[in-house]
Structure 1
Amino acid sequence: MDIEQARFNMIEQQIRTCDVLDPGALEALAQVKRERFVPAHLQALAFAEIEVPIGKGQTMLEPKTAAKALQALQLKRGEHVLEIGTGSGYMAALMAARGAHVCSLEIEPELAAQARRNLDRAGVDNVLVEDADGAAGWAEHAPYDVIIASGAVDSIPANWREQLKVGGRLFAFVGRAPVMRAILVTRVSASEYREHGVFETVVPALKLATQSQFVL
């Protein structure tokens, strides 16, 4: 397989055609080597239009879904990001390529360890992976400019909203199959949030150990 041609085809045929046109997002997708985050025995599927299994019943987001999320966030260099659900580390690497400093929480220790190895091999040094349940967010490094969840939740935890800076953005997949919405929440003030749907999709549920303090 011609890796660079496959990457080019992924961007041009899967991602641009889904209206992902932000230059910064496209640059990150070209820069981050997706094949380095896919299990070795599934290398041939690195650029396929599927959710690639990574173990422990979890998968990588489909390329176009990750790209649409990245575009929606409109990351700025130097922003502090909390990611709930590290998975393979690929989404964290994309955000790091935009110049963000990422703290990523992964509930499965084996996946967290693998993500650290993937990120290290890819030369990504602005991502910190923690072994943790993300249901309550991560107060230690709050507040954040951006919070993103890598899988679907029934509703958004109150703690996630509260750990945003004023002006910060929260991206989450909300709902259950067959219809879920990708939602972007912006903290307008200490007590006010603005929410809008970005796109409809279906993604696997986010694995969380606790689900208290959830709100619609």
Structure 2
Amino acid sequence: MDYSALRRRMVESQLRTNKITDDAVLDAMGEVPRELFVPRALKSIAYLDEDLQIAPGRYLMEPMVLGRLLHLAEVKASDQAMVIGCGNGYSAAVLARIANSVVAVESDAALAQKAQELLVDLGASNVNLARAPLTAGYPAKAPYDVILFDGAVQQIPDSIVGQLAVGGRLVAVLQADGPGRAILATRTEAGLSQRVVFDCSVPSLPGFAKAPSFVF
């Protein structure tokens, strides 16, 4: 298959038509070979606009949602970024072409190993793969200018918010009751401001469910 043609089609029909105008994001997603990050049986549909399973309970986020989140984050070439739940490394590989450096956090040993191999093969030397609990982030390299959650979460732990630099941007899909909502949170000297930008639905990352509340 002509994967380069499929990438171009993805950029033109899925990204540009959905309010993604950041050239750095469009270029990065048009360059990273998404087909390398999916199981062999799914390579022919690697560029469909849908979530693709890469391991039990883990998925590549659909291209449009990933692209819009990165667009919202306004990633600059000088930024240090962190990906929470990088899976086998696709989102980190995309971010690596935009940001100065990327910390990719993954708790699953097999996925982390695959991510390391793929990122090395792609020459993404500015990515540091961190094997750690997703809810902990990676404070050793904080603060981060950009934090991306590579999957839906019900809540964002304070431990991760605290790793965001002043002026930093955090993007995620919050999904509890009802439809998921993509949010942009920005840290200022006064605290954290947050706004909902668009509705979407993507598979959840493990470990970010809200604790059940007590009901009489």
Structure 2: how far apart are the matches of 1:95 and 1:88? 14
Contact 2:11–2:26 under 8 Å retained in 1: yes
Cα distance in 1, alignment partners of residues 66 and 208 from structure 2: 24
Cα distance per residue 1:137-181 (max 9 Å; x no partner): 221111111111111111221112111111011111112364011
Output aligned runs, 1:1-216, within 5 Å.
1-176=1-176, 178-189=178-189, 191-208=190-207
Q: Which runs of 5+ in 1 are unaligned?
A: none
Structure 1 residues 208 and 76: alpha-carbon distance in aligned structure 2, compared to 1, 3 A threshold: same
Once structures 1 and 2 are overlaid, which stretch shifts more, 133-142 or 109-118? 133-142
Contact 2:49–2:63 (Cα < 8 Å) also in 1: yes
Two-structure CA RMSD over aligned residues (Å)? 1.7
Aligned pair count? Answer: 211
CA–CA separation in structure 1 for the residues paired with 2:194 and 2:124: 31
Q: Could you say what secondary structure the match of 2:76 adopts?
A: coil
How far off its partner does 1:13 sit?
1.1
Unaligned residue ranges in structure 2 (runs of 5+): 212-216
Other structure's SS at 2:25 match: helix
Deviations 1:82-109 (A, max 9, x none): 1110112111111110133111111110
With normalisation by structure 1, the TM-score equals 0.91
Contact conserved, 1:133 with 1:209, CA < 8 A, in 2? no
Please give the per-residue CA displacement for 1:185-210, whole angstroms capped at 9, x wherever unaligned: 11111x41111112110111111289
Whole-angstrom CA distance in 2 between matches of 1:135 and 1:109: 16
AA partner of residue 4 (structure 1): S
Q: How far apart, in 2, do the equivalents of 1:30 and 1:40 lie?
A: 20
From the superposition, tell whether residues 100 and 211 of structure 1 become closer, same or farther in structure 2 (CA, over 3 Å).
farther
- Conservation of the 8 A alpha-carbon contact between 1:178 and 1:202: no
Output the amino acid matched with 1:5. A
Find the aligned partners of 2:118 and 2:35 in 1 and give their Cα distance.
Answer: 10
Structure 1 residue runs of 4+, over 3 Å off? 209-212
| Secondary structure at 1:167 match in 2 | strand
The alignment's TM-score, normalised by the length of structure 2, stands at 0.91
Q: Per-residue CA shift, 1:36-81, capped at 9, x if unaligned?
A: 2222232111111221110132110011111111111111113111
What percent of counterpart residues are identical?
A: 36
| Native 8 Å contact 1:33 1:122 kept in 2 | no
